[in-house]
Each structure stands twice: as C-alpha cells, then as structure tokens.
Amino acid sequence: MTKITLAKGLNAGLRAAMEADPKVLIMGEDVGKLGGVFRITDGLQKDFGEDRVIDTPLAESGILGTAVGLAMRGYRPVCEIQFDGFVYPAYDQIVSQVAKIHFRSQGKVPMPIVIRIPFGGGIGAVEHHSESPEAQFAHTPGLKVVTCSNPVDGYWMIQQAIACDDPVVFLEPKRQYHADKAELDESREPEPLFGSRVVRQGSDLTLLAYGPMVKTCMQSAEAAAGEGRSIEVIDLRSLSPLDMDPVLASVRKTGRAVVTHEAHVNLGMGSEVAARITEECFYALEAPVLRVGGFDTPYPPSRIEEEWLPDLDRVLDAVDRSFAY
C-alpha cells in the first residue's frame, strides 16, 4: 500500500484508464506539457503522446463539441475544465448535446464522456475560480454527476467514470488536491460509483455532505462528540443519481438530519436531499431537515472567502438548532 494525495490518486487513476483502453483520450487547456494547473495530468503526455493527451485552445465549447464527435466515433474523451467557473461557455454543448444524444438516438449512440471540473473554494482565488455549479448539472436528465472527497475515491471513481457509457460530470474538490494523504490498497474492491457511504457511525443526528464539505463535517462530528452528541456522517459521492438508501436508513435511526454543501443554499443539492428525506422519513423525524451552505451571493473576494464558506461553526450551529426543536 502507498500513501497518496487526491491529486496523485486522480493522476494514477487516469493513467490506469489510459493503459487499459487505447480509446481513452485527455483533452483540455494546459493538460499536456504543463500537466494541468493543479498538475493532475502531470507526466501523462510524455508517456502517452500528444495524440492522447491533447493541449486544446482556450475554448471550452470547442473542447466539448470535439468530445461529442470523438465519442460518436468510439473514443472515450476525458475533458478537463480548468476551473469551475470556466464551464459555462461549454454549458450549451453539455446540456443540449452531451446529455441528450444517447436518449435522442434511442440508445444507439452512447456518450462516454467524462467532464472533470475542479470545484469549490478555499484556495484564495476569485470568482470564476471557486464556484460550485453541481446543482445545474444534476438537474439535467442524461448526465451523471459524481464527486470524490478523498484520495482513494479519486483513484477508483475516475476509472469507473471513464468506463461508464453515460456522460459523467466529475467534480473534484480543488482544496483537497494536495491537502491530505490516504493509503491506497489496489487489491480491495472499490465502492460502486453511484453509491453514498457512511463514513462515521453515529446515533443522534445524520450529517450529509459531499466533496470538500466531507472533511468539515467529520471535524464537526468530532467536535460534537466532545459535547456528548453522536453524529453520523454520510458522504453522498453521487449527486445524480442520488443513492438515498443509506441516507434514509440513517435518518430513521437518528431522527435528525443536516445537509451541507459549499454551493448556495437556495435551490442547491440540499433542497432535493431534504425533500426526499421528508417524503420518506416524515414520521421518523424529530426536527426539520436543515441545510448549511454558502450565502446567496456571487463568490466573494478571496480575502473574505472564509467568511462566506460554510465552516465547522456554521455546521455545529445547525446541529444545535436541530436539537432545539
């Protein structure tokens, strides 16, 4: 077993996928010689050549449009969007073409495209570099949307996404790229791509998170334990489809739930999760399902981003409010 960061896990996962299938291509701005802004594709162009790791022009719509044509010809393109806020020029291609061609062709034309998007804040960057657009893609039928929160998931999930015949929006929490290390055991069976997972057992309240907020929620659960509260933490991992079975089982046990994400609270993923919990677990709930997220403003200047991002204190405040009912 080796200890890896999320960045190394994604790099190794991409390498494994390219070794396993010569039809896997990587496309994006500066993904080749530079190895990507966050060095996720470091060394891949040197080993696989410029025909398979392609430095593209700064034209996100062109990247995704080209990927559609490649997918139609049997390739499996992996498109890197350099920063989350840069995806919007490609939004038309993603929701109008990528998401619909498989359905439009009655299943005859698969779209095995992976769209890698570094997302979220916490790196001292400005707007267009620190956004959380996941709900916009999860709301689009025909797209799968997943996000990893740790190095081991990053290694396995990117390979599973590339092997999927449906288009996958693959969200990577950029502040976790080089933050923590975890042991990778390649002999272990990976978790299903579209499944959520309990990452901390508890009995008093269910805390739901994905991507960058999983670490924050784990820290919150640890702090709550010091006050005698047993918090169960679930990493949702897949946002479309949502795997609600572990969530519902947990809420029926604890009777309380708090959903967290960095994105704005208004119409965020927490709204859908809270609605489903309320529909399925109404009689088990001891309190309303609460949501914690970013404020309903554009992403702020970097000097005040820590005031904007949901943190341990805001999560614990929601936990306290849940127990106040």
Residues 193-213 have a mean pLDDT of: 98
Residues 273-280 have a mean pLDDT of: 98
Pairing verdict, β 290-294 and 168-173: unpaired
Residues 82-99 have a mean pLDDT of: 97
pLDDT value at position 127?
84
Percent of the chain with pLDDT over 90: 97
Q: Which pTM does this prediction carry?
A: 0.96
Label residue 250 by pLDDT band (50, 70, 90).
very high
pLDDT value at position 1?
74
Both 163 and 254 in one domain: the answer is no
Half-sphere exposure of 320 (CA within 13 A, CB side): 9
Both 256 and 280 in one domain: the answer is yes
Which range is least confidently modeled, 8-17, 125-134, 166-175, 223-232?
125-134
191 located within any domain: no
For residues 69 and 179, give the distance between their C-alpha atoms in angstroms, rounded to a whole number. 37
Number of structural domains found in the chain: 2
Residue where one domain finishes, among candidates 159, 184, 209: 184
pLDDT value at position 91?
97
Residues 25-51 have a mean pLDDT of: 97
Are the C-beta atoms of 259 and 292 separated by less than 8 Å?
A: yes
Cβ-in-10-Å burial (0-12, 13-18, 19+) of 74 comes to exposed
pLDDT value at position 65?
97
Both 139 and 282 in one domain: the answer is no
Both 273 and 245 in one domain: the answer is yes
Both 27 and 111 in one domain: the answer is yes
Mean pLDDT score of the chain: 97
Sheet holding 168-173, edge to edge: 53-55, 24-28, 76-80, 114-119, 168-173, 144-147, 238-240
pLDDT value at position 126?
80
For residues 174 and 319, give the distance between their C-alpha atoms in angstroms, rounded to a whole number. 26
The DSSP call for residue 19 is H
Both 180 and 204 in one domain: the answer is no
What one-character-per-residue DSSP string does 277-296 give?
Answer: HHHHHGGG-SS--EEEEE-S
Q: Does residue 54 have a pLDDT over 80?
A: yes
Q: Distances from the Cα of 154 to the Cαs of 161, 171, 226, 251, in angstroms? A: 10, 10, 31, 27
Q: Does residue 50 have a pLDDT over 90?
A: yes
Residues 32-52 have a mean pLDDT of: 97
295 located within any domain: yes
Query: Coil, strand or helix: which one is 225?
Result: helix
Are the C-beta atoms of 94 and 186 separated by less than 8 Å?
A: no
What residue type is assigned to position 45 of the chain? Q
- Cβ of 16: how many Cβ atoms within 10 Å? 17
- CATH at residue 79: 3.40.50.970
pLDDT value at position 142?
97
268 located within any domain: yes
Label residue 9 by pLDDT band (50, 70, 90).
very high
Both 39 and 168 in one domain: the answer is yes
Both 140 and 211 in one domain: the answer is no
In degrees, rounded to 5, the angle at the alpha carbon of residue 73 between the alpha carbons of residues 70 and 76 is 55
Both 225 and 139 in one domain: the answer is no
pLDDT value at position 2?
87
What residue type is assigned to position 64 of the chain? L
Which sequence positions are flagged as catalytic? 129
Give the tens place of pLDDT for each residue, 98-143. 999 999 999 999 999 999 999 999 999 988 999 999 999 999 999 9
Q: Which residues contact 10 (CB under 8 A, 6 or more apart)?
A: 40, 148, 154, 155, 158, 172
Question: Could you tell me the two tokens for 9?
Answer: 């896990």
Q: Which residues contact 323 (CB under 8 A, 6 or more apart)?
A: 204, 205, 229, 256, 287
Are the C-beta atoms of 37 and 58 separated by less than 8 Å?
A: no
Percent of the chain with pLDDT over 70: 100
Give the tens place of pLDDT for each residue, 291-305. 999 999 999 998 999
- CATH at residue 294: 3.40.50.920
For residues 173 and 119, give the distance between their C-alpha atoms in angstroms, rounded to a whole number. 5
189 located within any domain: no
Q: What is the gyration radius of the CA atoms in the chain, in angstroms?
A: 19
For residues 2 and 206, give the distance between their C-alpha atoms in angstroms, rounded to a whole number. 32
Q: Which residues contact 41 (CB under 8 A, 6 or more apart)?
A: 11, 14, 26, 28, 31, 32, 35, 53, 80
Give the tens place of pLDDT for each residue, 168-191. 999 999 999 999 999 999 988 999
Domain extent for 100? 2-184
Give the tens place of pLDDT for each residue, 134-172. 999 999 999 999 999 999 999 999 999 999 999 999 999
Both 252 and 157 in one domain: the answer is no
